[in-house]
């Protein structure tokens, strides 16, 4: 048999095996949480599909190197992925971009053989822009790129200690198994059902699931329903939705731990204060994900005075991308 024909049938067989596995576990994706609008068994499905992730580092000369995942941590509605430097990554000034691929390994009953896999391009992060400082400790400083990507740098050096991506669960399986090695998965667009409520009433019936967490545990979690805004609160393409009203004591939420991000690179580890990961899922009035975010954020001291019924100094956190922005006050 010619090599091209053998390769074709081999690829077809691997695709059929992958499709069979996806069909087997897809029913778990239909078990949607009423709070998040997302599949509740996402971690189980990803593990059963033998999913992992691969980081490609592109340097300024155009050379590309692939790196296997160091560790992954699931928390709530997102997963944090980390690649440790360990001397294998170029200095930051030599890196032009990061490429993230989802990898699905095909489970075959062939002991001793490396399982075949399919790669799906997910996101490219360019380093052409300045990096926002999240926080630092005595060993590393955390710099935020776009798309929820953090680079850990050794203090007073340009050496990369680790690279971390945070991915939201929304359509995560589809992004891994339905994309190609060159093109990412494109979510189909659906026309929303007709809403017969008077447009002067504004937007209504939105629901927010909001989580602050680190790479180990949740620090704060809450679901807020029946969010709305009047027509006057729609400005410049932005809709103002208030989840927690500071005047209402019953809406305030307590944190279960310190706002900090633990990190690990080989035998070294530490904790960076005043930083955490924010994962939010905003559902529209039809209970469909409208805006989904998972990204590290920085917690900074506030300049405004705290209300008399708050104890402690004020802190603020915010996030903004092309889909919207979030503002929080902490005390």
Tens digit of each residue's pLDDT (9 = 90 or more) over 93-132: 999 999 999 998 876 666 666 667 788 999 999 987 778 8
Residue 226 pLDDT: 87
Question: Can you give the pTM of this predicted structure?
Answer: 0.86
75: tokens are 């928390």
pLDDT of residue 208 exceeding 60: yes
Domain range summary for the chain, segments of one domain joined by + = 4-178, 203-330
State pLDDT tens for residues 150-166. Answer: 999 998 887 899 999 99
305: tokens are 């005075």
pLDDT of residue 88 exceeding 70: yes
Helix (H) or strand (E) holding 24: helix 3-25
Higher pLDDT, 1 or 140: 140
Best CATH choice for the domain 203-330 from the list 3.30.420, 3.30.110, 3.40.50, 2.60.40: 2.60.40
pLDDT of residue 248 exceeding 70: no
Length of the chain: 331
State pLDDT tens for residues 27-65. Answer: 778 888 888 889 888 999 999 888 999 999 999 999 999
Higher pLDDT, 277 or 308: 277
Section 297-317 average pLDDT = 71
Those residues whose C-beta lies under 8 Å from the C-beta of residue 11, and which sit 6 or more positions away, are none
For residue 291, name the pLDDT band (cuts at 50, 70, 90): very high
Q: Which of 52-56, 134-138, 234-238 has the highest mean pLDDT?
A: 52-56
pLDDT of residue 306 exceeding 60: no
Query: What's the chain's average pLDDT?
Result: 82
Distance CA 257, CA 263 (A): 16
Residue 7 pLDDT: 56
Residue 55 pLDDT: 96
pLDDT of residue 304 exceeding 80: no
Section 193-203 average pLDDT = 59
Q: Which of 277, 170, 274, 287 is nearest to 223 (CA)?
A: 287
Q: Is 305 helix (H, G, I), strand (E, B) or coil?
A: coil
Residue 312 pLDDT: 64
For residue 297, name the pLDDT band (cuts at 50, 70, 90): very high
Q: What share of the chain has pLDDT > 70, as a percent?
A: 80
Bridge-partner residues for 120, per DSSP?
A: 102
Distance (Å) of CA 141 to CA 136, 164, 273, 298: 4, 13, 11, 12
Q: Is 177 helix (H, G, I), strand (E, B) or coil?
A: helix
pLDDT of residue 198 exceeding 60: no
Residue 69 pLDDT: 94
pLDDT of residue 268 exceeding 90: no
Residue 123 pLDDT: 93
């Amino acid at each position: 048999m010619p090599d091209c024909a053998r390769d074709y049938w081999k690829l077809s067989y691997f695709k059929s095996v992958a499709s069979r596995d996806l069909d087997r576990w897809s029913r778990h994706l239909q078990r949607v949480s009423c709070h998040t609008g997302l599949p509740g068994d996402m971690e189980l499905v990803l593990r059963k599909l033998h999913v992992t992730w691969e980081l490609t580092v592109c340097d300024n000369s155009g050379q590309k190197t692939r790196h296997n995942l160091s560790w992954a941590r699931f928390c709530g509605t997102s997963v944090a992925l980390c690649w440790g430097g360990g001397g294998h990554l170029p200095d930051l000034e030599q890196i032009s971009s990061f490429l993230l691929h989802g990898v699905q390994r095909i489970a075959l009953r062939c002991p001793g053989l490396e399982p075949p896999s399919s790669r799906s391009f997910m996101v490219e992060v360019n380093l052409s822009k300045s990096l926002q400082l999240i926080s630092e400790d005595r060993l590393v400083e955390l710099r935020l790129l776009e798309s929820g990507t953090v680079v850990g740098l050794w203090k007073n050096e340009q050496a990369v200690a680790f690279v971390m991506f945070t991915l939201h669960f929304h359509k995560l399986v589809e992004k891994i198994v339905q994309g190609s090695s060159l093109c990412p998965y494109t979510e189909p667009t659906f026309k929303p059902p007709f809403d017969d409520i008077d447009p002067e009433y504004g937007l209504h019936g939105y629901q927010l699931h909001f989580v602050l967490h680190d790479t180990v545990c949740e620090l704060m979690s809450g679901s807020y329903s029946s969010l709305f805004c009047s027509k006057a609160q729609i400005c410049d393409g932005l809709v103002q939705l208030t989840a927690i009203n500071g005047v209402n004591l019953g809406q305030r939420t307590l944190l279960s731990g310190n706002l900090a991000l633990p990190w690990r690179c080989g035998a070294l580890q530490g904790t960076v204060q005043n930083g955490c990961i924010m994962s939010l899922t905003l559902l529209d009035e039809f209970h469909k994900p409208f805006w989904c975010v998972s990204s590290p954020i920085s917690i900074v001291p506030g300049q405004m005075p705290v209300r008399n019924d708050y104890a402690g100094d004020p802190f603020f956190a915010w996030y903004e991308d092309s889909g919207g922005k979030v503002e929080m006050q902490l005390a």
